[in-house]
Structure 1
């Protein structure tokens, strides 16, 4: 059984969502934020962060890598083969390297930090960065839709939508990007997403 170390109100949410999409049995080992986090998680993540995952003898950290492993266990259509597998990697790495840094800048300075520690200039720069990436996504979906790889939902959709979830749930303006907004709404409304969201939002 998959064991996901973390809590749903963290990046472990992404892994819970992926496990739900894959239909694989999993257990959440609750490890939360706080001064004891590093000691609590270091056996499975030497970086001292959540999430981490164990699957038998396999130990993994990095939420999106965990999701790729989960999808590989499930196989197609969640993890396709051939060229589409490479496209899954492309969009997953794009989510991590292009979208998440800007989304984090916006999030920390919009709703995560205490109000007196937020920097509006950094929030604005983050929002502009997210918008630039959403413009790329908008153009891509205009050609391929409804999902990132076309007709089938894959772990690439789950990974990118999970990275954008914080923006989606905290009032980011997706109005200029109707195709991206419709795609994201569809992702977070899937039964697996709703099951994961129940753990995070409940």
Structure 2
């Protein structure tokens, strides 16, 4: 059975955002059970964990065939053997790959840049000075993303796929702001994805240990 590493607890702002949720969601969509191996922050720098994940992050993944890290790569690995996440035809697969990398390479850097300011450096003078420019660059990309989505429900050939797992996760990392609400098609897209039973199960499973291991 696949094993996914995840944190026992993270601060509230990160709950629902830690990237093991991408892998959990993909496994749920693919109909695959898995075990979650929970680690604490104290485990991240140990030689044993660095052997699985060189950067000390989560998730690390194993399924009896492979051992992997990097959530996007793991989701892609799962998708390659699941019709629910990746179509069988070459053109369909190519479009899923295109949008999966668009989420990671074109949209996420702008989301992350804003999150770094808002969540970790909001009171710094440099952050206050930089934020308007960062938000403007992000909004330009979101304008383009909404235009590309058009009246479709999902990005790759209007079929839910692994690309939507990554894109939804990236857009959810803006939920500390009201920015996505300014893009009605993208807001509806995120809501559709979050309504999927597989996402709800993945989110619930990620959140459960956070309640159990919450600091007193």
Task: Give the TM bin, normalised by the shorter chain.
Answer: 0.7 to 0.9
Q: 1:156, CA displacement in angstroms? A: 0.8
CA RMSD, Structure 1 to Structure 2 (Å): 2.1
Match in the other structure for 2:178: 172
Alignment match, 1:57: 65
CA distance in 1, matches of 2:148, 2:108: 18
Greater C-alpha radius of gyration: 2
Return the offset for 1:66: 0.3
Segments of 5+ residues of structure 1 without an aligned counterpart are none
Aligned to 2:205: 199
Q: How many residue pairs align between the two structures? A: 197
Q: Is the 8 A contact 1:106 1:124 kept in 2?
A: no
Residue by residue over 1:112-146, the C-alpha shift from the partner in whole angstroms, topping out at 9 and shown as x without a partner, is x2654582234333322322221122111215x01
Taking a change above 3 Å as real, the CA distance of residues 55 and 123 of structure 1, as seen in their structure-2 partners, is farther
Instruction: Assess if the C-alpha contact under 8 Å between 2:30 and 2:84 holds in 1.
Output: no
Aligned match for 1:189, one of 191, 195, 200? 195
Q: Which residue of 1 aligns with 2:163?
A: 156
Q: Distance in 2 between matches of 1:77 and 1:43?
A: 31
Q: TM-score, normalised by structure 1?
A: 0.87
Deviations 1:63-91 (A, max 9, x none): 011001111222x2311131111111111
Q: Relative to structure 1, is the Cα distance of residues 175 and 61 closer, same or farther in structure 2, using a 3 angstrom cutoff?
A: same
Q: TM-score, normalised by structure 2?
A: 0.82
Supply the distance in 1 between the matched residues of 2:53 and 2:150 (Cα, whole angstroms).
Answer: 39
Q: Specify which structure has the bigger relative contact order, considering alpha-carbon pairs within 8 angstroms and separated by 6 or more residues.
A: 2
| 8 A contact 1:106–1:125 mirrored in 2 | no
Distance 2:121 2:36 in 1: 29
1:141 and 2:149 are equivalent in the alignment: yes
| Distance in 2, Cα, partners of 1:41 & 1:192 | 28
